A and B are shown apart, each in its own frame.
Chain A
């Protein structure tokens, strides 16, 4: 078995282990035997409800959201040839958050179960259309960053405006907590909503490996190697937006995972962008599973938000990154 295959197996095992661990942790205080019996054989009504309707969708969402963020971060870093790129850069997460906040403020979120994530997805779709319109059909990574920053800034400002003018302090509080990002109290309807977007978006991004590898030589050389840059960028934007938009819609804004995971794994795959894609998807899933286990262990009573934890762990890592980049004189 090659080194790359071994790494992917190892990461997959890590994800499987953390997935199992995630199923066994929660305020219900079930024993191992109770948990397995309820999950696999449906023993005990209350236990079965906890395992199948609360813990299983939560763990499944952690895998989906983590994979979407890790993969998107790796793909954007590869495309922009910049290790500081992250999934939020193209403005999709900010716009999805705006959609969600508007749904909460207008009371739409209370109308039916999926109203909030659907509003967030709508925000993500509008952001992609604006992004592609602004960045144009051709043009390189630079215009994409600029367009993404502009959209992020606008979405952020409009989100602030919605909170600012909120007639209802409870709705404002709810919106603020939603934006912190969490996987608590999610159901299988959330899983089924996010799954197709994340799977299709992820599959599209995973096809870009060879083009991203060629981009190591720069845009000019990659194009001369037969890589269609315009098509690559379109697939990348649509794939990332689909996966990250859906992830944000069901889990809120969870930062730093898409930045940190590709960074940690890059040295282990010889820095090759194509090999980093699947590794980062698995690594992202493992990291979100671990963080979601941690929020339940650290403060079981306080509903510590997942996005807060990833930011608290991620920000010092980011500082370390800046420090190391400066030391290497890059």
Chain B
């Protein structure tokens, strides 16, 4: 679904992403984790072809219109420039489907996305007058309305309340269950451990680890990459992860 090979992004003298190779298949929900500045955003933007890069990415190789039908991108900056209605904003996700499907398919996709993010009651509200967390959910709905097989999301759950964080992660996991591919940059390692099928750790621009949450979130890796100690345990309620203290 996404195939990145030896991807490198230089910004001046700094190598922001250094030779990352990554394949994401259908049904995978990949949590992309790493400290601030590890290169998570840069990796995703370069994979989409939005940044000059070395190496190859299957998405960047596509023509822009084809890529837009193949992958949806949810940037970290939550920009809503004009006071449009929630429905109008979510409908922007249909931009790549200009010549296919027609208005009925567009309306169906918008309705489904609004329902999935529990935003039906917000349909006619003005998007810019919603709270930050509500706007974030509207923008996720926009990406869902794109109905692309692959979703790349940059910190999609930052700023949401606990219930909506869980709801958004459930949505992404459900998308993966339906055969989509999802890649999300995350800082909440606990939610990543619970919902992601796979975790990729970026450290100083390089891929440091890649595997199931249980295999990746070892005390050694947490100490080395994040400089923290954490409690991580498999319980009857699923994995529980709690950061405990910083290591110096």
**Chain A interface residues (CB < 8 Å from chain B):** 81, 210, 213-218, 220-221, 223-228, 266, 270-273
Q: Known A81-B82, A270-B84; judge A226-B96 contact (CB<8 A).
A: yes
Contact A217 B64 (CB under 8 A): no
14 additional A-B residue pairs with CB within 8 Å, beyond A226-B68, A271-B83: A81-B81, A214-B95, A216-B92, A217-B81, A218-B77, A220-B50, A220-B77, A221-B75, A221-B79, A224-B75, A225-B93, A225-B146, A270-B88, A272-B82
Contact B139 A217 (CB under 8 A): yes
Chain B residue contacts of A226, Cβ below 8 A: 64-65, 67-69, 95-96
Chain B residue contacts of A223, Cβ below 8 A: 50, 64
Q: Enumerate B59-115 residues with CB–CB distance to A below 8 Å.
A: 64-65, 67-69, 71-75, 77, 79-85, 88-89, 92-93, 95-96, 98
Contact A217 B84 (CB under 8 A): no
- Measured CB to CB, the nearest residue on chain B to A216 is B81
- Measured CB to CB, the nearest residue on chain A to B41 is A220
**Docked pose: A218 CA to B75 CA in angstroms:** 9
The 7 closest A-B pairs by CB, nearest first: A226-B68, A224-B73, A218-B79, A81-B81, A271-B82, A225-B95, A226-B65
Q: Does B164 contact A (CB under 8 A)?
A: no
Q: How many whole Å from B239's CB to the nearest CB in chain A?
A: 32
Chain B residue total in the interface (Cβ 8 A): 31
**Docked pose: A228 CA to B65 CA in angstroms:** 9
Chain A residue contacts of B65, Cβ below 8 A: 226
Contact A220 B75 (CB under 8 A): yes
- What are 20 A-to-B residue pairs whose CB atoms are below 8 Å? A81-B81, A214-B92, A216-B79, A216-B81, A216-B82, A217-B79, A217-B80, A217-B139, A217-B142, A221-B73, A221-B74, A221-B79, A224-B67, A224-B72, A224-B75, A225-B146, A226-B96, A270-B85, A272-B82, A272-B84
- Measured CB to CB, the nearest residue on chain B to A83 is B82
Contact A213 B92 (CB under 8 A): yes
Q: How many whole Å from A226's CB to the nearest CB in chain B?
A: 3
Q: How many whole Å from A262's CB to the nearest CB in chain B?
A: 11
Chain B residue contacts of A220, Cβ below 8 A: 45, 50, 73, 75, 77
Q: How many whole Å from B178's CB to the nearest CB in chain A?
A: 22
Q: How many whole Å from A177's CB to the nearest CB in chain B?
A: 39
Q: Mark B126-143, 1 if CB is under 8 A from A, else 0.
A: 000000000000010010
Chain B residue contacts of A271, Cβ below 8 A: 82-84
Contact A216 B48 (CB under 8 A): no
**Docked pose: A115 CA to B108 CA in angstroms:** 58
Chain B residue contacts of A221, Cβ below 8 A: 73-75, 79
**Docked pose: A272 CA to B126 CA in angstroms:** 12
Q: Mark B35-69, 1 if CB is under 8 A from A, else 0.
A: 00000000001001010000000000000110111
Chain A residue contacts of B82, Cβ below 8 A: 81, 216, 266, 271-273
**Docked pose: A224 CA to B92 CA in angstroms:** 12
**Docked pose: A322 CA to B73 CA in angstroms:** 34
Chain A residue contacts of B84, Cβ below 8 A: 216, 270-272
The contact of A272 among B50, B88, B142, by CB within 8 Å, is B88
Q: How many whole Å from A289's CB to the nearest CB in chain B?
A: 28
- Measured CB to CB, the nearest residue on chain A to B65 is A226
Contact A210 B89 (CB under 8 A): no
Q: Mark B180-208, 1 if CB is under 8 A from A, else 0.
A: 00000000000000000000000000000
- Measured CB to CB, the nearest residue on chain A to B152 is A224
- Measured CB to CB, the nearest residue on chain A to B94 is A225
Chain B residue contacts of A213, Cβ below 8 A: 92, 95
Contact A224 B81 (CB under 8 A): no
**Docked pose: A254 CA to B82 CA in angstroms:** 26
Chain A residue contacts of B80, Cβ below 8 A: 216-217
Residue in A214, A217, A227, A270 whose Cβ sees the most chain B Cβ within 10 Å: A217
Contact B68 A225 (CB under 8 A): yes
**Docked pose: A220 CA to B44 CA in angstroms:** 12
